[in-house]
Amino acid sequence: MVVCLKVKKQDGEAAKNFLREKGWLDTERVLGKTELRYLILPITGTFDKHILLKKFPGSKFEEKNLPLVPVHSGDLKHLLKNILTEEQINELVRSYDVVGDIAILDIPPKLNKLAVSIAWAFKRSMQYINVVARKIGKVGSADDKYRLRNYEILTGEKRMETMHKEAGITMHVDLEKAYFSPRSSHERERVANLVKNGEQVLVMFAGIGPYALTIAQKKPQTQITAIEINPDAVRFMEENVRTNRLGFAINPILGDVIEILPKLNKKFDRIIMPFPEKNWNFLDLAIKNANKNCTVHFYAFVHEDKLKEAEEKIKKAAQKEGRKAEVLRVLKAGSYAPRTWRYVFDIKIK
């Protein structure tokens, strides 16, 4: 319930302007009205009843249950402006993620005391968000083998499981059990658009299947082998394949790529390696399983001054396997640290 000024409709506009000038109008509440003669204006702060009654004769003060104004995502900075500095707001707005109906924030320790207030602003600014959580530690800090991190739920429902939609596909994921990043959505579409129908595609470290699903949907005549070591991630991937009816194109396999690939005894036309933290350890394995003129999408965290060294390292890895590697393009695919980026190297193996 909030205190409201019940004013005659003919005085409504003047009353709104006066309350706004005085700072007494509660702009976070919806304005009310009666069927006939009155407008209901929510008021806040240390307003003066006598001034209002004198200025608007016939008005009254009543308590009403007026709802909050629905806020759109574009108003997020407005909601945060009384909590954070402009610099802090810009940093937060750049670094948050949305997975399904879960907003994931990266709140620095110095803002710990404001974490709940920040979470409330996020939840209110996006009406479809039901959970607001913060990242705890880096990727792999909770489980290095499965690339998991911890999360703290700040407000909303107590879960990290959701249904995420991207590029026309639906994915079931639990962020505490399986790695997934929405930030790679454009990169997944870019790669999928490069795939040619009929290709044999290998997705190493396939997770819940975002690369495989995106490719299968866009290029249904491909055959995709998707290998993942995390049993929970494979369970979600299998469900996602069924949900999107793409089982004709995707073969999910549970296991370590080091053990699985030799057993498959198969070469591929395109290999995707979305594991930037440790991909250098698996590049030789990818090259061994590459057909002639295979394209490898190799992701790695590299300092911007070390790109030429990274390209030379790729070429030497190919030479070691008796092959040649041509780096077709190098693109930034995400930030990591100052002057260090997540790069994708599109490589042709000859």
Overall average pLDDT of the 37-45 stretch:
87
Provide the β-strand partners of residue 131: 102, 156
Q: Which of these ranges, 40-44, 67-71, 111-115, has the smallest mean pLDDT?
A: 67-71
The amino acid occupying position 252 is P
DSSP 8-state assignment for residue 110: G
Tokens (6 digits) for 22: 């005085």
pLDDT, position 253: 98
Q: How much of the chain, in percent, has pLDDT values that exceed 70?
A: 95
Alpha carbon separation from 240 to 22, 72, 102, 170, 229 (Å, rounded): 55, 30, 18, 7, 17
The answer to whether residue 23 scores a pLDDT higher than 80 is: no
Highest mean pLDDT among 64-78, 121-135, 263-277: 263-277
Cα 217 from Cα 89, distance rounded (Å): 37
Alpha helices per DSSP H over the chain: 12-22, 49-55, 76-80, 86-95, 115-125, 185-194, 210-218, 231-243, 257-264, 283-288, 307-320
Residue reference for tokens 């030479």: 319
pTM: 0.76
Provide the sign of the torsion angle of the four alpha carbons 44, 50, 56, 57, taken in this order. Answer: positive
Contacts of 320 (CB under 8 A, 6+ apart): 284
Cα 44 from Cα 42, distance rounded (Å): 7
Residue reference for tokens 């295979």: 294
Overall average pLDDT of the 44-62 stretch:
88
pLDDT, position 29: 75
Overall residue count recorded for the chain in this entry: 350
Overall average pLDDT of the 137-158 stretch:
92
pLDDT, position 75: 58
Overall average pLDDT of the 146-161 stretch:
95
pLDDT, position 73: 44
The answer to whether residue 61 scores a pLDDT higher than 60 is: yes
Q: Which of these ranges, 26-30, 41-45, 211-215, 238-242, has the smallest mean pLDDT?
A: 26-30
pLDDT, position 227: 98
The amino acid occupying position 256 is D
**Local structure of 90: helix, strand or coil:** helix
Cα 187 from Cα 164, distance rounded (Å): 17
What residue ranges do the domains of the chain occupy? 2-64, 73-159, 180-349
326, 348 Cβ separation under 8 angstroms: yes
Overall average pLDDT of the 60-89 stretch:
72
pLDDT, position 323: 97
CATH number of this structure's domain 180-349, picked from the four choices 3.40.50.150, 3.30.450.40, 3.90.550.10, 3.90.226.30: 3.40.50.150
pLDDT, position 37: 85
CATH tag, 73-159: 3.30.300.110
The answer to whether residue 46 scores a pLDDT higher than 80 is: no
Query: What is the per-residue pLDDT across 189-210, written as a single tens digit (0 to 9) for each?
Result: 999 999 999 999 999 999 999 9
The answer to whether residue 220 scores a pLDDT higher than 90 is: yes
Tokens (6 digits) for 246: 């793409």
Q: Which of these ranges, 20-29, 170-179, 280-289, 340-349, has the smallest mean pLDDT?
A: 20-29
38, 6 Cβ separation under 8 angstroms: yes
**CATH architecture of structural domain 2-64:** 2-Layer Sandwich (3.30)
Query: What is the per-residue pLDDT across 77-121, written as a single tens digit (0 to 9) for each?
Result: 676 777 778 778 777 766 788 999 999 998 888 888 888 888 888
Alpha carbon separation from 165 to 99, 115, 204 (Å, rounded): 8, 27, 22
The answer to whether residue 28 scores a pLDDT higher than 70 is: no
Higher pLDDT, residue 46 or 223: 223
Cβ neighbours of 309 (radius 10 Å): 11
The answer to whether residue 224 scores a pLDDT higher than 70 is: yes
| pLDDT interval class at 35 (50, 70, 90) | confident
Cα 38 from Cα 10, distance rounded (Å): 8
Q: For the chain, what is the mean pLDDT?
A: 90
Higher pLDDT, residue 32 or 27: 32
